[in-house]
Structure 1
Amino acid sequence: MAASKTVLITGTSTGIGLAAAVGAARAGWDVVATMRDPGKAGRLLAEAGAVGAAGRIHVERLDVTDAASIASAVARATAAHDGLDAVVNNAGAGVVGTIEVGGMEPVRAAMEVNYFGVVEVTRATMPHLRASKGRLVTVTSVGGVVGQPFNEAYCAAKFAVEGFMEALASVAAAVGVRVSVVEPGAVASEFVASQRIDIPALVAEAGPYGPALQSYIDRALQSFGNAQSAEEAAATVVEVLEAEDPPFRVQTSEWARGFTASKLADVDGSAVQAMMAQWLETR
């Protein structure tokens, strides 16, 4: 990988985003590592320094829910690095609950971060990716393929992202941009802890859904107790960045592949993409 290639990654203060930024820098990419609060970049820079890659990390402020923040960060990054060769949409937020109890606010908030934020970053960076014949990688979730209980808002947003990217992929390919989605399962990272869920209060507020919610939470906690590490999941992101011919859809673990395969016979997305390419063929 040429040292001059530049990737912009969102949500790099913790978890998969942090590990992907370090992994990409270690692989030779110049990394524009974005986060809402650059004051939280200490761990990222320390981990990059530990592997001799701190010089390739360039921290920028970017809030995916703020179009002006996105435009400003992209403008600074492209000016400093003479364009972009890749973008990784990673920033996201979870929400646990059900619509009857939680109402619309959590749904709208989840869509703003997990869906509209991805769309806005994509819109802002596509001209640069088109110019470089680059690639667009989006970290979704197995929850973007299989709907899971008490994750209605989160799964809806991730389903929307998967549909958006699947539809965009063939269009982007027509102008030389490769689009991929990366689907982790349970990942042991601050993503879960950052939700600061008061479990007893959440169960109590769930009313008639309380027993089912408690069962779900018990299973989820067990699942995250045996979760893949953020570094393992991020390694898949870096592999997609580095791949000569990246797939549209890739999972980060054998468990994630098996889980998504329960719904998707076309696990790597190649059949759908071949069909869409035919739709766009000029005669």
Structure 2
Amino acid sequence: MTIALITGTSSGIGLHAAIGLARSGLDVVATVRDASRASALRAAASEAGVTLDIRSLEVTDATAARALIEALGPVDILVNNAGRGAVGTLEQLTDADLQDQLETNYLSVARLTRLVLPGMRERGRGRIVTVTSVGGAVGQPFADAYCAAKFAVEGLMQSLAPVVAPFGVDVSIVEPAAVASSFTDSVHRAAPGPYADLQQAYLDRTSTAFASAQSAEDAARTVVEAATTSAPRFRWQTSEAAVRFASLSLADLDGSRVLGVTQTWVRSDA
């Protein structure tokens, strides 16, 4: 039995990735923040003819995360998918806004990953996949807090990857660009104030991008591939649009060049 735990599955990429992982023959534990909002997930599982173990989890609740991992036992694949956006430039953002983004998009991922790592390391196998964003590679106007948290989680995972690789644990990140989902419904929007015109221009541009966005089902296929492939790599983009966008900052699109260097830093024979 291979257990895959995926967070943030009530809709969007997480919902379709949970279904895809189950279709791959994995025993999928799919978490949602609010169990009363899992009807779409249950309906999708029924339509696909797969079984999911649906659990409630507020990812920012460290005690609940620990209790879940202790209840589940060994987790073979962890997919950190839960996330939340925010619109606002730094002067508009409170400390609470910044902390909220760090808690949801960075610290919760770090905590959950830390909880599953001992078991993976001891068993000599495991895979950790974190859904980040092209906003983890390219800073964007009025996405200050969101991009900062996504940059942070990408840095965490890229730093972790060469250290756990010798123990048979593969670490990957998946970078979607605009995806048609309900993700934008939960985006926190700061009051525009003196930035009203600039912020509106950004929102207009974003609306255009989401009008032609990749489907969540299509993006989820990359997440499933990253979690199940026999040839894992560190960095994945979910579409050609994501490749083009990430390449504004990255020349090392699949992550092999950076890891090729940093892996030598932890080899005793280097």
Q: Determine the structure 1 residue equivalent to 2:107.
A: 116
Q: Does 1:58 find its partner at 2:75?
A: no
1:22 aligns with 2:19: yes
- How many residues of Structure 1 are paired with residues of Structure 2 in the alignment? 268
Alpha-carbon separation, structure 2, partners of 1:175 and 1:63 = 29
User: What SS class does the counterpart of residue 7 from structure 1 fall into?
Assistant: strand
Please list every run of 5 or more consecutive structure 1 residues that lacks an aligned counterpart in the other structure: none
Structure 1 pair 196/109, CA: closer, same or farther in 2 (3 Å)?
A: closer
Which of 203, 221, 224 is equivalent to 1:217? Answer: 203
> Where do 4+ consecutive residues of structure 1 move more than 4 Å?
none
In structure 2, the residue corresponding to 1:174 is in which secondary structure? helix
The answer for the alignment partner of 1:10 in structure 2 is: 7
Task: State percent identity of aligned pairs.
Answer: 49
Does 1:73 find its partner at 2:68?
yes
Alignment partner of 1:251 is 2:233: no
Letter in 2 for 1:17: G
Inter-partner Cα distance in structure 2 for 1:14 and 1:137: 18
Alpha carbons 1:110, 1:153 under 8 Å: kept: yes
**What is the alpha-carbon distance in structure 2 between the residues aligned to residue 168 and residue 6 of structure 1?**
22
The TM-score with structure 1 as length reference comes to 0.92
Deviation readout 1:168-215 (Å, 9 max, x if unpaired): 000110211000000000011010123375xxxx5xx42221111110
1:142 is aligned to 134
- What one-letter code is carried by the residue in structure 2 that aligns with 1:29? L
- For residue 224 of structure 2, the aligned residue among 229, 238, 243 is 238
3-state SS of 1:222 partner: helix
CA 281–132 in structure 1, closer or farther in 2 if over 3 Å, else same: closer
Deviation at 1:97, TM superposition (A): 0.6
Contact in 1 for aligned 2:87/2:188 (Cα 8 Å): no
The two structures, once aligned, show a CA RMSD in angstroms of 1.2
SS at 2:86's partner residue?
coil
Distance in 2 (CA, whole Å) between partners of 1:183 and 1:153 is: 17
Correspondence 1:273 to 2:255: no
Question: In 2, are the aligned partners of 1:140 and 1:162 still within 8 Å (CA)?
Answer: yes
Alignment counterpart, residue 172 of structure 2, candidates 163, 172, 180: 180
2:30 to 30, 33, 36: 33
* Structure 1 residue 39: Cα displacement: 2.1
Q: Which is further off, 148-157 or 32-41? A: 32-41
Shift of residue 230, structure 1, vs aligned partner? 0.8
* Structure 2, unpaired ranges of 5+: none
> Distance in 2 between the 1:172 and 1:10 partners?
22
Within the candidate set 73, 76, 81, 1:85 is matched to: 76
